[in-house]
Amino acid sequence: MEPEIRQLEEMLRRAMLHSDVAALDALIDDELLFIGPDGRLFTKADDLELHRSGVQQLTHAEWREVLVQVHGATSVSVVTAYLAGVFSGQPFSGLYRYCRTWAQHGDGWRIVGGSVSAIATEAS
């Protein structure tokens, strides 16, 4: 299962980088709860709209480290990433750490929860 989650994380990276709303829709559970870097709560609809509207545009998304733990029908991934782009018209770049919970459904794995935080250094 761990290789499958790693593959899904790569699919997610590409979908985020290209604002591929269809791919994001397939990877994200309808009941998603996600905490953004400023502490705001986002749902799946919020996340898809950020990409659809162009409010969030990534120009660089490099996964530097991916840790995965599988626990039956759930999995936790922790991703350290270098991101650059524009959010609400403001450029940003830096290191970020995602923590995502994936749940296995009958038709595959989907992200059901997560958070992202800016990190000051490359220390993992």
Contact in structure between 78 and 98 (CB atoms under 8 Å): yes
| Rounded mean pLDDT, 91-102 | 96
pLDDT (0 to 100) of residue 107: 85
Name the pLDDT band for 76 (thresholds 50, 70, 90).
very high
3-state helix, strand, coil in the chain (%, to 5): 25, 55, 20
- Say if residue 122's pLDDT is above 60: no
pLDDT band at 106 (very low <50, low <70, confident <90, very high): confident
Across 87-107, average pLDDT = 94
Are residues 121 and 95 in contact, defined by beta-carbon separation less than 8 angstroms? yes
Judge whether residue 89 has pLDDT over 70. yes
Region 8-28: mean pLDDT is 97
